[in-house]
Amino acid sequence: MLGEKIKKNYKSIVEKFEKKESALISLLYEIQKENNYISDGDISELSSLIDMPYSRIKSVLTFYTMFNQKKTGKYHIQVCRNLSCSMSGARNIINFIKENLKINEHEVSDDGLFSYTTVECLGACGSSPVVMINDTYYENMDEKKLRELIDKLRKE
Amino acid sequence: MKIILEKELFDIKTYITNGGYNAIKKALTMTPQSVIDEVKKSNLRGRGGAGFPTGLKWSFIPKDKSQKYVVCNSDESEPGTFKDREIIHKNPHSIIEGMIIAGYAIGATKGYIYIRGEFVREARIIEKTIYEAKESGYLGKNILNSGFDFDITVVRGAGAYICGEETALLESIEGKQGKPRIKPPFPATKGLFSSPTVINNVETLAAVPYIMIMGGEKYSRIGKEKSSGTKLFSVSGPVNKPGVYEIELGLSFKDFLENYLMGMKDGVKLKAVIVGGSSVPVITADEAMKVNLDYESLSQAGTMLGSGGMIIIGDNQCMVEALYILARFYHHESCGQCTPCREGTGWIYKLLSEILSGKCKEKDIDLLYEIAENMMGRTICPLADALSMPVMSFVKKFRNEFDKHIEGSCEICQR
Amino acid sequence: MPKINVDGKDLIANDGESILNVCERNGIYIPRYCYHPSLSVAGNCRMCLVEIEKMPKLQTACSTIASEGMVVKTDSEKVRKARKDVLEFLLINHPLDCSICDQVGECFLQDYYFTYGLRKSRFKLENKNQKQKRREVGKYLVLDNERCILCTRCVRFSNEVTKTDELFVNSRGDRAFIDISPEKGVTNKYSLNIADICPVGAFTSKDFRFKQRVYMLQTTKSICTLCATGCKINIWHNNNTIYRITPEPNIYTNTWMCDDGRMNYKIVNSSERLTHSMINGTEYNKRQTVKQVFNKLSKAMDDKLRIAVVLSNYLSIEDNISLIYLAKNVLKTPYIFSIESNQQKIEDGILINSDKSPNSNGIKLLVKKYGIKDISEYAEYDIVIGFYEDIKNLRISLVKTILFSYKKSSYPCLIALKTYFETDGSFINWQGYLRKTAKVVNSPENTFDLHHFLMEVSHLFAVYPDFNFKGIIKDLKYKEEGQ
């Protein structure tokens, strides 16, 4: 179900663009911000709101990996698994997450706080390993820093 | 020498104090054609990876009065590449000014910046930069009383490397899946919303104001004849000083490694270099020590300058595993439109994971090479080639490591 | 009109024509999956790659426009290798379903494999991608995502032809699969065309599923009689049974056909079928039926009852001519009527006509030739002879009717007819083209060709018709294809 915010704001988002089609990715981000992920029901509602076929919206949703099609934790941890990050210890970071948060890829921790996936190159290879949590980059990560970060996030 | 990254110019005040927005002032006193000619004279080549002459690209735009677009490709997803991010952090106004000049040159009144979805902070910086430029009258209607209008909209990506390909990028801005288009027609005739469009990389556009100020001829004398100007190289791997470097094209790799990157770290020996992003053929340490960092020298050495995303590989990294990681990337990023890439990336990835775990035979390595050959040159866009070239070069130059994995005797991977 | 050279032959292309089309027109076949003449060009299957001189890479023939001086090779070493490789890529994740797949016999993968491939598999079976199979899609389709080669013909059909946007590609890479918009499913009235255009067994017809191998079937060309569009069709049959109907694409009337038209063959064996004439609750064979009707009409004429004959837009020209003859020469009644049809037009922008009868234009011409009155002048009559579908619109007591029908109903006097799958008949469609249905299967023993029935009745009246249908039809003003 679409939240109140997007139902209020969608028109102003669409107006920012020359053609309404260009607003689609932004609209999906808005829905995700409010609802944590984007459901089929959200797509149907959006389809009526902006008069765009369901099939068009769903094809875009499933093509781009930054859209969550199912629930993630409050803090969604994305660990880069590409070459530079792998060479500087991404595997250790992944193992750390698996052992300490007790989750596999795409799973949510029992307290609903954390989930993780591996992702491809985040474009910050010089400060690898790189981890992205929600919208923020954390560079030059190691197990110690990650432990501190997770503890900090837990307390928030 | 440094041009784009000479100073840290975070906001418009600092930018203007250091000569910013003088280039657009100068351009507005010239005819659009003279602006294109100036860029042509500079021999500037596209900095995103393809290296296509920028002035020439701009000259393909028809000279009629139809709607046109300038698109800035800020998708930066090529593994090993993180140079555009540096420009956004340290000199964002140069990108905006470059776009405005491009718009003036080709007769476009609208620009789009397509920025990869993960660059959330960078997108905010760009929005702020656009706002500053608008507030100071460098964007909007009747810029500097010239009668020229130009406006920029930011469109965010959402996690697709393929959207770095020009026509896939346009598809994404048009609200569709990022699937590359058949060419011809090229974007210069039929681009964004079917209008003539110029698409340039962040670094290419950032160089434009400097070319206008110093003059195209002067820029062309920096670097080498066919590789003019400076290039940003983003370096990662076991070197002492990874990071972004702006260097004059033509610098030798040896010089770069020893005096800029300060050599290999922790006693690791240089084994291989991917000079320009994962899509270019890999070169051995010996080969690397003999090349210069410019388009021609690298092309002669059997590789490419590409994006300038340099990945240094030491002897502590197994080449088979490295290739496996890259194959996994291309398999994940293939848009799936055309047969050879969709099926080929999957096949190569699966084959490599078996070679890595020693479940294969000698002939499977030859098969791996053949699949890469069979994908090449037969697809709508070069993503298939971008996997084929690493595969073929890794197998050819590091065959012994693949053989070791067949036997189960790789010391690095311990399998 | 650029001149190009293909495989050594000089050909002339039309302006803007693709290499594939020029070759097709000149009898050179280039293999393809995603290209379809009635859909936009996708260029994604890569099967139509050809060699063009001065171009380092092979180019897709479907998307490359022929230009002056182009030298094309469609069968060189390079091209043959490319086709082999593309086929290999297509087959690595394709399931070994042939033994249970309806597409056998008309499958592009099988056919091209034998012509261009013939390579032993080098891919490990356990690594094959798995996707959803046997998905019910709408009323008539079954979708198997594993068999799909993602040519996107179906998606383009749903976007461009029916404009219903029900199908799309979900996900990317080799995880991509064809998906359906859930709220609608595939509910458009042309869904079975998707099974036709799918080059492999991904989209198949539920109705035809597992019924017969296509190579056991014969095809007979005919026309659809469900509306005034009169699509040209192919009827696929074997052993006196109809298994399916597909359109016969042509530039005059139809590229596609609607789902209702395809299902129309079911009337032949339907439980609703009238297999014997029924008069006052009793079944009669052919001979008895003729006698019964003759008796009724003969008595009516003796009693000087007013008899009306109503022509039908649902019946063939031959049948209607016989009705006119019966009325004028046997019953000698002036009360002959025709029913003007709805305004004829394509009501959905594709093929379905607002006029649901197949022969209104044929009857119009007969009306002109013989001076037939319109039904609006109908008054009260003692006996009405006509086709059952027409009579329900008239205010008339059931007892007074003698009706022709192929469906059972509650009318007291029903003469069992052959359907137009069991006999041939001439029809003129909304565009004015004269076409015939073809007999494809045998009808139930006690059903009539209407014109035969009327002739037999005439004979009992000692009236011997001596006209010939061909001669009469030849004089009518209809259109011919190519005019």
Per-residue pLDDT reduced to its tens digit, B4-22: 999 999 999 999 999 999 9
Average pLDDT over residues B110-119: 98
- The pLDDT, as a whole number, for residue A156 is 83
Instruction: Name which of C45, C82, C172 is nearest B334 (Cβ-Cβ).
Output: C172
The DSSP output letter for C451 is H
What residues of C are in the B interface, CB distance below 8 Å? 41, 43-47, 49, 56-58, 60, 63, 82, 85-86, 88-90, 92-93, 122-124, 127, 129, 149-150, 169, 171-176
Q: Where are the domains of chain C?
A: 3-88, 277-474
CA-to-CA separations, B155 to B117, B199, B363, C238, in angstroms, rounded: 9, 14, 47, 59
Extended beta strands in C124-231, E state: 135-137, 141-143, 167-170, 177-180, 203-205, 218-223
Domains of chain B as residue ranges with CATH: 12-220 (3.40.50.11540), 230-314 (3.10.20.600), 319-407 (1.20.1440.230)
- Return d(Cα A58, Cα A36) in angstroms, integer: 17
The answer to whether B77 contacts A119, with C-beta atoms less than 8 Å apart, is no
What are residue C384's phi and psi, to 5 degrees?
A: -125, 125
Instruction: Name which of B336, B344, B345 is nearest C176 (Cβ-Cβ).
Output: B336
Cα of C440 to nearest chain B Cα, Å: 42
**Cα radius of gyration (chain C):** 28
User: Residues A94, A119: one domain?
Assistant: yes
The DSSP element (H or E) to which A76 belongs, if any, is strand A75-80
Pairing of the two strands C434-436 and C426-428: antiparallel
Quick check: B340 and B374 in contact, CB under 8 A?
yes
3-class SS at C474?
Answer: helix
The phi-psi region of residue B41 (left if phi > 0; otherwise alpha if psi is between -120 and 50; otherwise beta) is alpha
Omega of the bond leading into B184 within 30 degrees of 0 (cis): yes
Instruction: Indicate whether C334 pLDDT > 70.
Output: yes
Closest CA to C253 of C477, C431, C436, C478: C431
Judged by a CB distance cut-off of 8 A, whether residue C165 touches chain A is yes
Residue with tokens 């193992």: A95
What average pLDDT is seen over chain B? 96
Q: Which residues of B touch C149 (CB under 8 A)?
A: 339
Instruction: Indicate whether C169 pLDDT > 70.
Output: yes
Q: Which residues of C touch B384 (CB under 8 A)?
A: none
User: Residues A56, A82: one domain?
Assistant: no
Tell me the DSSP string of B305-334: -TT-EEEEEETTS-HHHHHHHHHHHHHHH-
The DSSP element (H or E) to which B123 belongs, if any, is helix B120-135
Instruction: Name which of A123, A126, A137 is nearest B243 (Cβ-Cβ).
Output: A126
- Return d(Cα C65, Cα C67) in angstroms, integer: 6
3-class SS at B73?
Answer: strand
Per-residue pLDDT tens over the stretch A97-154: 999 999 999 999 999 999 999 999 999 999 999 999 999 999 999 999 999 999 999 9
Q: Which residues of C touch A39 (CB under 8 A)?
A: none
- The pLDDT, as a whole number, for residue C379 is 83
The answer to whether B236 contacts A125, with C-beta atoms less than 8 Å apart, is yes
The answer to whether C56 contacts B374, with C-beta atoms less than 8 Å apart, is no
Structure tokens of B140? 């909007």
Instruction: Name which of B343, B367, B374 is nearest C93 (Cβ-Cβ).
Output: B343
Q: Which residues of A touch B309 (CB under 8 A)?
A: 125
Residue A69 counted as domain residue: no
Q: Which of A37, A63, A89 is the last residue before a domain boundary?
A: A63
Residues 84-143 of B with CB under 8 A from A: 84-85, 110, 116-121
Q: Which residues of B touch A26 (CB under 8 A)?
A: 155-156
Structure tokens of C312? 């039908």
Structure tokens of A123? 């474009």
Neighbours of C130 (CB within 10 A): 9
- Which amino acid does the sequence have at A109? S
Residue A20 counted as domain residue: yes
User: Residues A79, A133: one domain?
Assistant: yes
What are residue C116's phi and psi, to 5 degrees?
A: -120, -15
Give the pLDDT band of residue C80 (cuts 50, 70, 90): very high
Cα of B378 to nearest chain C Cα, Å: 7
- Return d(Cα C475, Cα C483) in angstroms, integer: 17
- The pLDDT, as a whole number, for residue C184 is 65
Give the pLDDT band of residue C391 (cuts 50, 70, 90): confident
Sign for the pseudo-dihedral over CA of B273, B276, B278, B283: negative
- Return d(Cα B257, Cα B275) in angstroms, integer: 12
3-class SS at C135?
Answer: strand
- Return d(Cα B348, Cα B331) in angstroms, integer: 8
CA angle in degrees (0–180, nearest 5) for B238-B239-B243 = 110
Judged by a CB distance cut-off of 8 A, whether residue A41 touches chain B is no
3-class SS at A38?
Answer: coil
Fold of C3-88: Ubiquitin-like (UB roll) (3.10.20)
Length of chain A: 156
Quick check: B372 and B391 in contact, CB under 8 A?
yes
User: Residues A151, A84: one domain?
Assistant: yes
Q: How far apart are the first and last CA of chain A?
A: 27
- A vs C: CB pairs below 8 A: 31
Q: Where are the alpha helices (DSSP H) in C184-258?
A: 192-197
3-class SS at B22?
Answer: helix
Instruction: Indicate whether B113 pLDDT > 70.
Output: yes
Is residue C128 exposed (0-12), middle (13-18) or buried (19+ Cβ within 10 Å)?
Answer: middle
Judged by a CB distance cut-off of 8 A, whether residue C170 touches chain A is yes
**Interface partners of C (3+ CB pairs, < 8 Å)?**
A, B
- Nearest-by-CA chain A residue for C169: A59
Tell me the DSSP string of B97-115: HHHHHHHHHHT-SEEEEEE
What average pLDDT is seen over chain A? 96
- Return d(Cα C463, Cα C465) in angstroms, integer: 6
- The pLDDT, as a whole number, for residue B88 is 98
Instruction: Name which of A52, A86, A132 is nearest B118 (Cβ-Cβ).
Output: A132
- Return d(Cα C80, Cα C69) in angstroms, integer: 23
The number of CA neighbours under 13 Å toward the Cβ of B275 is 31
The answer to whether C172 contacts B336, with C-beta atoms less than 8 Å apart, is yes
B218 strand-pairing partners: none
Sign for the pseudo-dihedral over CA of B82, B86, B89, B93: negative
Give the pLDDT band of residue C183 (cuts 50, 70, 90): low
User: Residues A87, A44: one domain?
Assistant: no
- Nearest-by-CA chain A residue for C155: A55
Q: Which of A33, A63, A93 is the last residue before a domain boundary?
A: A63
- Return d(Cα A142, Cα A130) in angstroms, integer: 9
The number of CA neighbours under 13 Å toward the Cβ of B410 is 24
Judged by a CB distance cut-off of 8 A, whether residue A54 touches chain C is yes
**Cα radius of gyration (chain B):** 22
Per-residue pLDDT tens over the stretch B371-393: 999 999 999 999 999 999 999 99
Cα of C342 to nearest chain A Cα, Å: 34
The answer to whether A58 contacts C168, with C-beta atoms less than 8 Å apart, is yes
pTM of the model: 0.95
Quick check: B384 and B344 in contact, CB under 8 A?
yes
What average pLDDT is seen over chain C? 94
- Return d(Cα B346, Cα B342) in angstroms, integer: 7
Structure tokens of C282? 């009793």
- Return d(Cα B98, Cα B203) in angstroms, integer: 10
Average pLDDT over residues A23-52: 96
Residue with tokens 């430029």: B133
Instruction: Indicate whether C483 pLDDT > 90.
Output: no
Tell me the DSSP string of C294-335: HHHHHHHHHTT--EEEE--TTS-HHHHHHHHHIIIIIS--S-
Residues 334-353 of B with CB under 8 A from C: 334-340, 342-347, 350
Instruction: Name which of A40, A53, A56 is nearest C182 (Cβ-Cβ).
Output: A40
The answer to whether A55 contacts C165, with C-beta atoms less than 8 Å apart, is yes
Q: Which residues of B touch A124 (CB under 8 A)?
A: 82, 85
Average pLDDT over residues C129-147: 94
Neighbours of C222 (CB within 10 A): 22
- Return d(Cα B248, Cα B256) in angstroms, integer: 11
User: Residues A142, A101: one domain?
Assistant: yes
The answer to whether C183 contacts A54, with C-beta atoms less than 8 Å apart, is yes
User: Residues A45, A83: one domain?
Assistant: no
Give the pLDDT band of residue C457 (cuts 50, 70, 90): very high
The DSSP output letter for B55 is H
Quick check: B252 and B292 in contact, CB under 8 A?
yes
Where does C277-474 sit in CATH, by number?
3.40.50.740
Structure tokens of C221? 């060309």
Sign for the pseudo-dihedral over CA of B321, B323, B326, B330: negative
What are residue A78's phi and psi, to 5 degrees?
A: -115, 115
User: Residues A88, A130: one domain?
Assistant: yes
Residue A68 counted as domain residue: no
Cα of A32 to nearest chain B Cα, Å: 12
Quick check: B263 and B238 in contact, CB under 8 A?
no
Expressed as residue numbers, the domain containing A38 is 4-63
Judged by a CB distance cut-off of 8 A, whether residue A104 touches chain B is no
The DSSP output letter for C269 is G
The DSSP element (H or E) to which A133 belongs, if any, is strand A131-133
Judged by a CB distance cut-off of 8 A, whether residue A62 touches chain C is yes
Total domain count for chain A? 2
Q: Which residues of C touch A58 (CB under 8 A)?
A: 168, 170, 179, 181
Structure tokens of B385? 């080639």
Judged by a CB distance cut-off of 8 A, whether residue C182 touches chain A is yes
Sign for the pseudo-dihedral over CA of A48, A54, A60, A66: positive
The percent of residues above 90 in pLDDT, for chain C, comes to 89
Per-residue pLDDT tens over the stretch C99-120: 999 999 999 999 999 999 888 8
Average pLDDT over residues C415-425: 96
The answer to whether B175 contacts A22, with C-beta atoms less than 8 Å apart, is yes
**Interface partners of B (3+ CB pairs, < 8 Å)?**
A, C
User: Residues A84, A54: one domain?
Assistant: no
Instruction: Name which of B119, B175, B244 is nearest A126 (Cβ-Cβ).
Output: B244
Cα of B170 to nearest chain A Cα, Å: 10
Per-residue pLDDT tens over the stretch B42-98: 999 999 999 999 999 999 999 999 999 999 999 999 999 999 999 999 999 999 999
User: Residues A34, A82: one domain?
Assistant: no
C283 strand-pairing partners: C278
